[in-house]
Structure 1
Amino acid sequence: MNLLQQFEHEQMTRLSGARATPEFAAGDTVRVMVKVQEGERIRTQAYEGVCIARSNRGLNSNFTVRKLSYGEGVERVFPLYSPNVAEIQVVRRGKVRRAKLYYLRGRTGKSARIQEATSPRVKAAAGAAAAPAAEAPAAAGDQQA
């Protein structure tokens, strides 16, 4: 590892420790809280949309978020380790089969929707919790008969 890579790695660990970055990928709906300076004031502004691309390049990693604003598509590229990005929240997980969703640029309405991802672990846990509840009334019915 050369000196530049070592420096970038140190900066990434320093910036990662200051702010927790959730795991997200293309297709996920994310809400990015951006610091905006207006004169002397600094406030945070929410930018919510679908992550259509993610570039993992170490300290230069970035992601592109697309949203519709008054019927017009708006895309914004955020550096992952930028001090102007206060927080990243994953609103919902999307089920896609591509790493880059640039094809969404030409689509509007229902064709631009992304199906929500359902984890098989969540289904199994919900099914296991519902199974004992379903067996309990049957056992109570056997005792009465």
Structure 2
Amino acid sequence: MDLLKFVQEEYIERKEFPKFGAGDTITVYYKIVEGAKERVQFFRGVVLQRRGSGATETFTIRKISGNIGVERIFPVNLPTIEKIEMNKKAKVRRARIFYQRERTGKAARIKERRM
């Protein structure tokens, strides 16, 4: 067995998160440390992509904050992630929906799939 894969499987803590993909709206709760204080902050938005596999898997979330698009990339195995909540499932035809960046208003709607 590959040494790198062995170390990743043995020592990296895996958390159970719901299955989600591109187009889904999710909320990520993550811990922020400021000096001696800790707090949990959330980031709610549409998943643009999931990429990678194993320990290096990441996902990109996009939200609109005051008419400005904000994107954030989270590693799946980030130790500061408390939980991930599914808000909406979506029906999209691509694994990476970067075309959402240019769309606004009604054109930016994504068809919802009932959970």
Q: Tell me the TM-score range normalised by the shorter chain.
A: over 0.9
How many residues are aligned here? 115
Q: Does 1:26 align with 2:22?
A: yes
Which of residues 83, 86, 95 is equivalent to 2:82? 86
CA contact (8 A) 1:11 1:59 kept: no
CA RMSD of superposed structures (Å): 1.2
What TM-score results when the alignment is normalised by the length of structure 2?
Answer: 0.94
> Could you tell me which amino acid in structure 1 is paired with residue 55 of structure 2?
L
2: CA distance between counterparts of 1:98 and 1:11?
A: 33
- The runs of at least 4 consecutive aligned structure 1 residues that moved more than 4 Å come to none
Aligned to 1:6: 6
Shift of 1:11: 3.2
Aligned to 2:43: 47
What secondary structure does 1:103 align onto?
Answer: helix
Unaligned stretches of 5+ residues in structure 1: 120-145
CA contact (8 A) 1:53 1:64 kept: yes
Aligned to 2:62: 66
What secondary structure does 1:7 align onto?
Answer: helix
Unaligned stretches of 5+ residues in structure 2: none
Aligned to 2:113: 117
Q: Which has more helix, going by share of residues? A: 1
Shift of 1:59: 0.1
Q: Which has more strand, going by share of residues? A: 2
Instruction: Quote the sequence identity (%).
Output: 42
What secondary structure does 2:110 align onto?
Answer: coil
Aligned to 1:122: none
Aligned to 1:35: 31
2: CA distance between counterparts of 1:110 and 1:67?
A: 15
1: CA distance between counterparts of 2:60 and 2:70?
A: 10
Aligned to 1:130: none
Shift of 1:118: 3.1
> Could you tell me which amino acid in structure 1 is paired with residue 36 of structure 2?
E
